[in-house]
Chain A
Amino acid sequence: MATQPNAAERFAQGILPENPVYRQLLGLCPTLAVTNGLKAALTMAGAVAFVLLCANVMTSLIRNLLKPHLRIVVFTLTIATFVTIADRFLAAYMYQMSKTLGPYIPLIIVNCIIICRCEVCASKQSPITAAADALGQSIGFGLALCSIAAVRELLGTGMIAGVRLLPAAWPDWGVMILPPGAFLTFGLLLGLVNWLSRSKK
């Protein structure tokens, strides 16, 4: 059996070489749904980071008690608990943002990134490695989300996070902040990432 990567390797892998969105194509539902503005994307990335960190550490702590046939259920219930905490926190302190994100916060429960990290890393390695892995993956996820959100918001409204960057004469490409824009932007960026990583080799 191959040796497991240590904490530093896990951290570094999550950001670019195994980026959850561009490389593993996981967690596409929030990637497409909440990237019509940079603020929403950052909040989403923060919520996912919190849930991923807590769930990874918790799974790693109980990894010796897990029974193989029940582990997925245990993962999901652990994640659901932390998602409830994150959801209540957002509703209490960032009410407007929690309205904007709507059902996509509870949908973190079925986000494949978190279940995948629990399965691949946390259920086999120590809590410190699991935490490093969670941080790396969250940063990778946050970067991916922000890259898509920045392109969509800039082209769709001429602004990034409410600050106007393009001249007022810019004809806002309304379609970019609507559902089709999410598919098109992500598809083109994915092609770009593939092309860049191919030419580097």
Chain B
Amino acid sequence: MEYMIDIALIALSAALINNFVLYYFVGICPFIGVSRRVDMAVGMGCAVTFVISIAALISWSITTFVLMPGAPLSCWIAGFFVSGETAARIDLSILSYIVYIFAISASVQFVEMYVRKFFPPLYKSFGVFLPLITTNCAILFACLTIMSHVAGVDNPAERWDLGRALALAFFGGVGFTIAIVIMAGIREELDLCDIPAPFQGAAITLIVGGILALAFMGFTGVDNGLRNALTQRAPAAVYTAVDPAHVNSNRSIDSETFYLQAVVS
């Protein structure tokens, strides 16, 4: 039960609250460039969701078994060359960026060949976007987030398993699709509007994106509230987690200050 709540909250957070595009600014290039028509945006979103899930699977496996300090596979291999104690301390995480980007390029190539061979209609609908995705920051960002939750935690019990990693990646992709489709819908309408010449194109898209980001800020804190409601703890626990000093002095701390504190810390 606890595990399912965790997965659900990771998914909700990745898709809406900390939306990849509107909160972390990754994948802005297709957001500005591709999002002119709704059907193109849906195709791009599906392609990204597909690739991001595969990249998450690969990067989670590589991090857990090879790159992490004391990872089983690299320790086992190192055991043939050095003594057991030295082998247990082996840490390949310095190679992580190079390995991730290589894994992403390879998986994009592989997905493209596979889809072209076995699903020609699917390839026709989003195949053209696939090569572009290699340099989409959203994919690498998902890999890095997963890495920070696998290799970057001190307590082994908090380490993410494959289910959490896949939930983050898949729903991050869904969030990307939501943002890019909403944007494409607005831009189709914007084409009919009389926009001042200097603002045509990217500038008005960015301003509309800002208003969208403002709307998505309304979801802030939903995950904490939901977690408390589901695990039936006292509502005050939300503030305790952020800043214990505020619980007694100022119970009615307004949501913006709370949000600012979360950002600053």
Q: Does B153 contact A (CB under 8 A)?
A: no
Chain B residues, Cβ within 8 Å of A178:
217, 259-260, 263
Q: Does B145 contact A (CB under 8 A)?
A: yes
Contacts A180-B217, A184-B210, A198-B198 given: A112-B97 contact, CB under 8 Å? no
Contacts A29-B26, A183-B210 given: A76-B101 contact, CB under 8 Å? yes
Q: Does A115 contact B (CB under 8 A)?
A: yes
**When chains A and B are docked, how far (Å) is the Cα of A73 from the Cα of B202?**
29
- CB–CB A81/B98 < 8 A: yes
Chain A residues, Cβ within 8 Å of B197:
194, 198
> Beta-carbon contacts of B206-224 to A below 8 Å, as 1s and 0s?
1101110110010000000
The one of A87, A177, A181, A187 that contacts B203, using a Cβ cutoff of 8 Å: A187
- CB–CB A107/B140 < 8 A: yes
CB distance from A113 to the nearest CB of B (A): 11
> Beta-carbon contacts of B2-46 to A below 8 Å, as 1s and 0s?
000000000000000000001111111100100000000000000
CB distance from A194 to the nearest CB of B (A): 4
Q: Does A12 contact B (CB under 8 A)?
A: no
The one of B101, B204, B214 that contacts A77, using a Cβ cutoff of 8 Å: B101
**When chains A and B are docked, how far (Å) is the Cα of A29 from the Cα of B27?**
7
Q: How would you classify the secondary structure of chain A's contact residues: helix, strand, loop or mixed?
A: helix
Q: Does B193 contact A (CB under 8 A)?
A: no
Q: Does B144 contact A (CB under 8 A)?
A: yes
Q: Does A165 contact B (CB under 8 A)?
A: no
The one of A103, A115, A180, A192 that contacts B135, using a Cβ cutoff of 8 Å: A115
- CB–CB A72/B25 < 8 A: no
**When chains A and B are docked, how far (Å) is the Cα of A111 from the Cα of B263?**
24
**When chains A and B are docked, how far (Å) is the Cα of A77 from the Cα of B135?**
12
CB distance from B259 to the nearest CB of A (A): 8
- CB–CB B213/A179 < 8 A: yes
**When chains A and B are docked, how far (Å) is the Cα of A50 from the Cα of B135?**
20
CB distance from A116 to the nearest CB of B (A): 10
Chain B residues, Cβ within 8 Å of A171:
none
**When chains A and B are docked, how far (Å) is the Cα of A187 from the Cα of B205?**
8
CB distance from A88 to the nearest CB of B (A): 7
- CB–CB B94/A88 < 8 A: yes
Partner-B contacts on A (CB < 8 A): 25-26, 28-29, 32-33, 72-73, 76-77, 80-81, 83-84, 87-88, 103, 106-107, 109-112, 115, 174-175, 177-184, 186-188, 190-192, 194-195, 198
If A180-B211, A190-B203 are given as contacts, then 6 extra A-B residue pairs at C-beta distance below 8 Å, sorted by A number, are A29-B25, A80-B97, A103-B145, A180-B213, A191-B203, A194-B199
Partner-A contacts on B (CB < 8 A): 22-29, 32, 94-95, 97-98, 101-102, 105, 134-137, 140-141, 144-145, 148, 196-199, 202-207, 209-211, 213-214, 217, 256, 259-260, 263
24 pairs across A/B with beta carbons < 8 Å? A28-B25, A29-B137, A76-B135, A80-B97, A84-B98, A88-B94, A103-B144, A106-B140, A106-B144, A109-B97, A110-B101, A111-B137, A112-B135, A178-B259, A179-B217, A180-B213, A181-B210, A183-B206, A183-B209, A183-B213, A186-B206, A190-B203, A194-B198, A198-B198
